[in-house]
């Protein structure tokens, strides 16, 4: 987080609550976190094409907190880079809340990655393994809520689905009760990679929840986003 970027991050859009977008009744177009791609220059480009909300690439919270070099490398922003969600990989509530406090002045919220299926992430206790650890997800969300003073600062999660969808619905309900702002659902299991996305599963999750649900997976065009929006009834697409 270089100082020349930090000094220019005051933005009217920072005051805009992404939750208000989800309750607008309109399709919310979201740029998903993509490894190596979703950095400032890419976010600046997609915003010119009416992207409503952007995510950073996934950042390992522990490294971000402990290393100034990691912060400078992994997170840069500017005045026009908003609204913005910073996605973290985390397995420790204290470290995640410390990371959230660092980015709070420069972003609209954080997202906890509970969906990454990469082997290194699973081995470190990050990503998709967290869908089987609802108590840890609860603790991380609560810790961020307790440590970040801004009540408009969002805390969301991104998940994959279980083979038994009732487990996913149960996870989402527990997350909602903990105070999660919204949930992004990638409509594949941890083991699935290129198989068709289970949009019907996302629809069932949406129908079971009160908070906004964002659909994710194989959405490559605005037309596909509109089709998935109508199919699933969700609040956003990325």
In this model, does residue 159 exceed pLDDT 60? yes
Give the pLDDT mean for 157-186. 97
Do the domain assignments include residue 10? no
CATH of the domain at 92: 3.20.20.70
110: Cα separation from own chain's centroid:
7
For residue 65, give both structure tokens: 């907190």
Do the domain assignments include residue 1? no
In this model, does residue 167 exceed pLDDT 50? yes
pTM over 0.85: yes
Give the pLDDT mean for 2-17. 51
d(CA 9, CA 1): 11
Do the domain assignments include residue 204? yes
| Average pLDDT score over the chain | 93
Do the domain assignments include residue 8? no
Percent of the chain with pLDDT over 90: 89
Do the domain assignments include residue 34? yes
Structurally, how many domains does the chain consist of? 1
- Check residue 14 and give its pLDDT: 56
pLDDT digits (tens, 9 = 90+) for 129-156: 999 999 999 999 999 999 999 999 999 9
Do the domain assignments include residue 181? yes
Give the angle subtended at the CA of 81 by the CAs of 30 and 2, to the nearest 5°. 130
Do the domain assignments include residue 12? no
Range of the domain at 193: 18-237
Do the domain assignments include residue 5? no
Catalytic residue among 114, 116, 129, 172: 116
Q: Which of 36, 30, 34 is nearest to 50 (CA)?
A: 30
pLDDT band at 8; cut points 50, 70, 90: very low
Indicate if 11 belongs to the active site: no
Local structure of residue 48 (DSSP, 8 states):
T
């Amino acid at each position: 987080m270089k100082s020349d970027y930090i000094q220019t991050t005051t933005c009217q859009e920072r005051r805009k609550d992404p939750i208000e977008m989800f309750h607008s009744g309109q399709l919310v177009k979201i740029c998903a976190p993509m490894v190596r791609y979703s950095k400032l220059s890419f976010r600046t480009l997609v915003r010119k094409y009416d992207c409503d909300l952007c995510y950073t690439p996934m950042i390992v919270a522990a490294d971000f907190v402990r290393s100034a070099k990691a912060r400078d490398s992994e997170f840069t922003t500017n005045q026009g880079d908003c609204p913005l969600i910073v996605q973290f990989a985390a397995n420790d509530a204290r470290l995640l809340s410390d990371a959230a406090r660092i980015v709070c002045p420069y972003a609209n919220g954080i997202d906890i990655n509970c969906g990454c299926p990469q082997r290194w992430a699973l081995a470190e206790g990050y990503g998709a393994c967290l869908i089987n650890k609802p108590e840890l997800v609860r603790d991380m969300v609560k810790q961020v809520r307790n440590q970040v003073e801004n009540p408009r600062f969002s805390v969301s999660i991104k998940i994959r689905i279980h083979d038994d969808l009732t487990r996913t619905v149960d996870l989402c309900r527990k997350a909602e009760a903990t105070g999660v702002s919204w949930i992004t659902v990638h409509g594949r299991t941890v083991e699935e990679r290129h198989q068709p996305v289970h949009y019907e599963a996302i629809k069932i999750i949406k129908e079971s929840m009160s908070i906004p649900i964002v659909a994710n997976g194989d959405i490559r065009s605005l037309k596909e986003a509109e089709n998935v929006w109508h199919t699933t009834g969700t609040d956003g697409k990325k």
